């Protein structure tokens, strides 16, 4: 630190303000760390989730409702309308039944709440 700058702020008149600024800086740093922990420590927030479903499937509706309740973002493909996605689903799962849920490459066939919670690390 340059000497004139140090001398200017060494004045008692500014010491209280400097102390407050340091405390604010510390609080902001703690807030940033807390935000990063809360946002990035939830692995399910970062998981890539794909649901292969049909509009008439009750288990598909239950699976998607569960994911929404848990605030898990996902992509939903209607395999009754998209032949390419239907083939992709069969290649991934070996199954023609829905729902098929792909969580970061792990395949869940049907609405298996326990397995979904396990893969997303939900309580």
pLDDT for res 43: 43
Residue-wise pLDDT tens digits, 3-20: 555 555 556 666 777 777
- This prediction has a pTM of 0.65
Mean predicted lDDT score pLDDT of the chain: 84
- Among 31, 27, 50, 34, smallest CA distance to 99 is for 50
Confidence of residue 58 (pLDDT cuts 50, 70, 90): very high
Residue-by-residue DSSP string for 65-96: HHHHHTT---EEEETTT-HHHHHHHHHHHS--
pLDDT on residue 64: 98
Scan for tokens 């309740």, then name that residue.
69
88-107 per-position pLDDT tens digit: 999 999 999 999 999 999 99
* pLDDT tens profile 16-42: 777 777 777 777 776 776 666 665 555
For range 57-82, the mean pLDDT: 96
Domain coordinates of the chain in residue numbers?
A: 3-40, 43-120
Q: Residue 37 corresponds to which tokens in the numbers above? A: 């922990």
CATH architecture of 43-120: 3-Layer(aba) Sandwich (3.40)
């Amino acid at each position: 630190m340059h000497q004139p700058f140090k001398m200017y702020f060494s004045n008692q008149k500014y010491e209280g303000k400097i102390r407050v600024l340091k405390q604010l800086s510390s609080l902001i740093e703690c807030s940033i760390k807390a935000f990063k922990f809360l946002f990035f420590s939830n692995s399910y927030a970062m998981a890539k989730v794909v649901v292969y479903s049909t509009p008439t499937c009750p288990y598909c509706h239950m699976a998607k409702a569960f994911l929404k309740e848990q605030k898990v973002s996902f992509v939903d493909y209607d395999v009754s309308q998209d032949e390419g996605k239907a083939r992709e689903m069969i290649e991934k799962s070996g199954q023609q039944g829905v729902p098929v849920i792909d969580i970061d490459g792990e395949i869940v066939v049907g609405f298996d709440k326990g397995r979904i919670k396990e893969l997303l690390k939900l309580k």
